[in-house]
Amino acid sequence: MNRTIELLAQGQSCWMDDLTRRMINSGDLARRVGEEGLRGITSNPAIFEKAVAEGADYDDDIVRAAVAGRSPAGIYEELITSDVRNACDILRPVYEETAGVDGFVSLEVSPHLAHDTEASIEEARRLWTLVDRPNLFIKIPGTPAGVPAIEQLLFEGINVNITLLFSIARYEAVAEAYLRALERRLDAGQPIERIASVASFFLSRIDVLVDRLLRQRIVPDRLPPDPDPRSLLGKVATANAKLAYQAFSHIRASNRWMALAEKGGRVQRMLWASTSTKNPDYPDLMYVEPLIGPMTINTMTRKTIAGFRDHGTVQATVTHDVQRARRVMEDLGRLGVSFDLVTAQLENDAVQKFIDPFDSLLKLFAAKGERAVAFRDVDDLRAEARRLRRLVIRMTTEAGSGHPTSCMSCADIVAALFFREMRWDPLDAAARNVDTFVLSKGHAAPILWAALHEAGAISEDPLSLRRIDSTLEGHPTPLNPWVRVATGSLGQGLAAANGLAAANRLDRIDARVFCLLGDGECSEGSVWEAAQFASLNGLANVTAIVDINGLGQSEAAPYHHDTAVFARRFASFGWRTIEIDGHDMTAILAAFRTAHDGGPTAILARTIKGKGVSFLEGADGWHGKPLDRKQMAQALDELGDETQAPPVVEPRRVGQMARPQRVAATHSPPAYRLGDKVATREAFGHALEKLAGEEPALVALDGDVKNSTGTEPFAARYPERFFESFIAEQNMVGVALGLAAAGKIPCAATFACFLTRAYDFIRMAQYSRPAHLVLCGSHCGVSIGEDGPSQMGLEDLAMFRALIESTVLYPADAVSAEQLTAMAARTNGIVYIRTTRPKTPVIYSNAEEFPIGGSKVLRSSLQDRLTVVAAGITVHEALAASDMLDARGISIRVIDAYSVKPIDVVTLSAAARDTGGLIVVEDHAIDGGLGDAVSTAVGSTAPVHRLGIARLPRSGTKDELLDRYGISRRSIEEKVLQLAA
C-alpha cells in the first residue's frame, strides 16, 4: 500500500507545498489526489516565482493582463487566485468526503503585511472573496501583529493557515486566538462547524540555525556535567515539535476546548512545515518519521514524498521520547543557547525569506508586462527579416557561392538585434560606447553585410559580395570597418566577445556584447572555455545567441533542435539560459530584454535552416550552396515583394567614454649587474609590471602559470588589468584578441608548448589585424630539463614565423628581455617573445638598446674563421664555445639574433661574407626556426650549418639535454673544429 495513504490511519495527512499551473494543467495534482492520498497543497512565493521564470505556462495570461493595464501586483493576484481556485476544485471532493477536515489549498497574504494587522485583515478578506471556495486557507504569519488578524478572520468565518511558527509560546498565542474566535462566533450566534485552521510549525530552519550555534560551542576535552554540543546537532527542531504537540494535546484535553467541540468546533491541527532536510549528512526523513500522529499534517516536497514512499516507516511517533525531547531543550539552555532568541531571529528571517521571492516575483511580472506592451508592434521587424533573407539570396546567387541557408535561419535574430535591441550608431564604425556584435558563425557573413546595408551603415553594393575589390568578404574580417575580429574558423567568436566585454568594463562602458554562434560550432571545446571565462569573470554584459538550426555541413548537427542540451551546458558554467523559438520575434525581443538583468546570458534559439523558402527549410544538401537564377526567382516569390523601407536605426550610445590617459614616457631602464643570473621569463614579468605604470592600456593574461611565466607581479599590482585564463589557452588568445580590438595592449603568457594548442586562434588573429597583441612563450626548448618533451616548446618559432607580418623576439638575458618586452608592447601587430626557464647571466649593460630587426655582435675579430648565430639560451653556449676555441687559437664571430623576425639581414650577410660560413645553433626544432630564418637572410652568400633539435627529446638535466641533442658549447666547438679543419 502507498505509505502516504497509510499515514491516514495514523491520523496524519500528507500535503504538498509547490502548487503550480503546470501541476494543475498536466493532471499531476488530480492524480496525486486520486491515487496517492494527497490531502492538501499550499502556494509558495518561491515556487511560484520559479514556475513563472522558467516556464511558459503563465505567459499568455501575463501578456493579456499587461496589455489590459494590470499592475504587477494585480497580475500576481489574478494568476495566483486562478491557480488556487482550480486547485480547490480538484481537492473539493476530499473536502466533502472528510466533512471539511481535509482537501484545503492555502494562499498567503503579501509577506510585507506580516507586521500590519489591519492590512492583513483587508487583504485576506479580498482574497477570500476572489477565490470564493470553502476549502481555501488564507495564510497569515503568527507574528504579534498576525495574532489579532488571525482571530478576527476566523471570527468572520475565513479559514486560516497560521504560518511561520517556531516557538511553543507563539503557538499557544495563536491557539488562544482560535479559541477566542470560536467563542466570539458562538456569542454572536454564528455556527462554528465549518471554521477550519491549522498551526504550521517550521522545522528544518530551526536546526540550520541551532546547529551553527552548537558548532561554535564544540571544544576539545569538555568535562561533565556539561552536555556535549555534538549530541544535540539535528535534534532541536524535532524535540521542539514534540513538545509543541504536547501543548496541542493539553489544549485539546481542556474543558474550554471540550465545550467548543460539543458545539461543532473543529480541532486546529498541527502542521509540520519545512520538512525537507537541509543538511545532506542528515537522514532525508528526519522531520517526517518522528512526527506521525493524530490531528497532524506533514507538508512535504516532491523529493521528500518520494523518499517516504520508497523507504519510510509508518507508525505513531509524535508522542514518543517526549522526556528526551525535554532534555534536549534543557541541554540547549545549559550550553548558553537561548531558544527564545533563536525563534525570534527565525521569525524575522522567515518573513524576509517570503518577502524576497515575493518581490522578485512582482519584478518578474513587471518585466514580462513591459515586454508584452513593448513588443506588441513587431511587424516592421518581421518584414525586415524577410528583406534580409531576400537580400542574402540575391547576394550569394550573384557571387555564385556562400551560405544563404545558414543566414536565413538567423535572419529574425539579426533583424531584432540591429533594428531594435542594439544601441549603435550606423554612421560611426569606430565608436566604443555602443553595443557590439560578433558573428562567430562567420560563414553567415552575408546576413551581417545585409543588415549593415539595410541600416545605412555601409554604402558598398551588397551584390559585390566576395569580389576581390569588395570589403564584403566571404567570412567577416576587419577589412570592413564594422568587423572587430575576423571569424570563420568556428568556435572563436565567444572568446573575442569576452575580450571586448572585459575592455568595456575596464573603460567603464556599460555596453553589451552580442555573439551569434551556430549549434555545430558548439562542438568546439573553445566555446566552453569561453563560457567558463565569462562566468568566472562575471561578464554580465555578454549575451551568446546560439542559432540551433539542427543541420551541419555534411549531416545533422549532434543534438538536432534540442535546445535543452545547450541550456544545461551553459547553465553548468553559471550562465543564465533562455530557450526560445528563434523565429518568434516577440520571444526574441523578450529574451534580449531578460538578458539586461545580468548574466552572462545564453539565448538558445530553435531555428530552421533555410527559413522562409519551402524547398530550403530544413533540407539537407544546401550548406554553402547558393541558388541558381531560377531557384532565386522562386525563393524571392515565396518571400514576397518588400516595398516598404527598412526601419530607421536611430544612433544610440551608452554614455560618454573617457579614454585613460597615458603617462608621459618615463620608461626606467633595467637595473641588473653584469654576471647576475636571472631568467628571461622573470625579466619579462618585471618589464610588464613597469610598463603598466606608464601605459594604462596594457593588460596581461596568463594560463594558470603566472608564477612560472613571470606575470605574477603584474597580477598582484594590477589585479583589475590581469585576467587569469586557467588551462584554456584557446580562450586566452581569443580574449586577448578581443581586448586588442577594443584598443588595449594585451600581453598573454603561457608555456611555449601550450601556445601550439591555440594556434588556430593565433592564425585567425593575424586576419583581425590587431594594433597590438603580445604573446609570450616561456619554458621553451630542451633546456627546461627534467620535465621532458611534453613541456618543451620546440615548434613555436616556426609557427610564429609563419604568420604574415608577425614579429618574433628571443632575448638572451634579463636586460634584453626587459627592453624587448617594452619594444613588443609598442610594436604593431602580433609580437611573440620567447623566454627561457633557466637563469642565465646578464651580458648586456642596462643602457643597451634592442631595436626590432636588429642583432648584437658579441665577439668579432679580423681573424674570425666562422660565425655562430644564436638566440636565447644558446647565446650563452656560443660565448662559452668561443672561449674554448680561443684557447685553441681559433676565433669565431658570435651574433645574438634576438630579432628572429624581422631578422638582421645586413649584419648576417656581412658576417657571411667576412667569415665564409655560419653555424646557427638553436634550442628549437631544426626545421622552421632560427636556422631557416638565417638561411633565407644570407641566401647563397655563404653556407649555413644548423644545430638544432633533430630527434625526439627526453627528460634529463639541462646540460645533459643540450649536449645530447647537439646544441651545447661542446657541440658548437666540435662543429667549428670540423668546419675549420
Measured from the Cβ of residue 489, the count of other Cβ atoms closer than 10 Å reads 18
How far apart (Å, rounded) are the C-alpha atoms in residues 197 and 64? 36
Phi, psi of 744, rounded to the nearest 5 degrees: -85, 165
950 CB-near residues (< 8 Å, 6+ apart): 925, 926, 965, 966
Q: How many CB atoms lie within 10 A of CB 190?
A: 13
Residues 6 or more apart whose Cβ sits within 8 Å of residue 898? 809, 810, 811, 812, 816, 820, 850, 854, 855, 856, 871
Q: Select which of 78, 289, 521, 729 is catalytic.
A: 729
Q: Show the cell assigned to 465.
A: 559580395
Burial level of 302, CB count in 10 A (0-12/13-18/19+)?
middle
**118 catalytic per annotation:** no
Which candidate, 484, 454, 480, places its Cα nearest to that of 466? 480
Whole-Å CA distances, 873 to 200, 694, 814, 841, 867: 76, 30, 12, 10, 17
CA distance 965 to 794: 12
Lookup: cell for 747: 600581453
Q: Which residues pair with 579 in a beta bridge?
A: 604
Rounded (10°) CA dihedral 525, 527, 533, 538: -150
Burial 534-564 (b: 16+ CB within 10 A, else e): bbebebbbbbbbbbbbbbbeeeebebebbbe
Integer CA distances (angstroms), 360 to 48, 59, 84, 688, in order: 10, 16, 20, 46
The amino acid sitting at 877 is E
What order do you get walking across the sheet with 866-870 strand by strand? 856-859, 892-896, 866-870, 918-925, 944-949
Helix axes 563-572, 525-536, angle to 10 degrees: 50
C-alpha–C-alpha distance, residues 865 and 887, integer Å: 14
What's the helix, strand, coil split of the chain in %, to 5? 45, 15, 40
> Among 210, 230, 251, 239, which residue's Cα sits nearest to residue 317?
239
SS3 251: helix
- Is 305 within 8 Å of 315 (Cβ atoms)? no
Buried (b) or exposed (e) across 852-875, using 16+ Cβ within 10 A? bebbbebbbeeebbbbbbbbbbbb
* Location of C-alpha cell 614579429: 807
Cα 930 from Cα 263, distance rounded (Å): 104
Rg (CA), the chain: 38
388 DSSP 8-state letter: H
**Alpha carbons 880 and 417: distance in angstroms, whole number:** 64
Give 744's contacts (C-beta < 8 A, 6+ positions apart).
503, 506, 697, 698, 699, 772
* Cα separation, 835 vs 809, whole angstroms: 9
Q: Which residues are catalytic?
A: 729
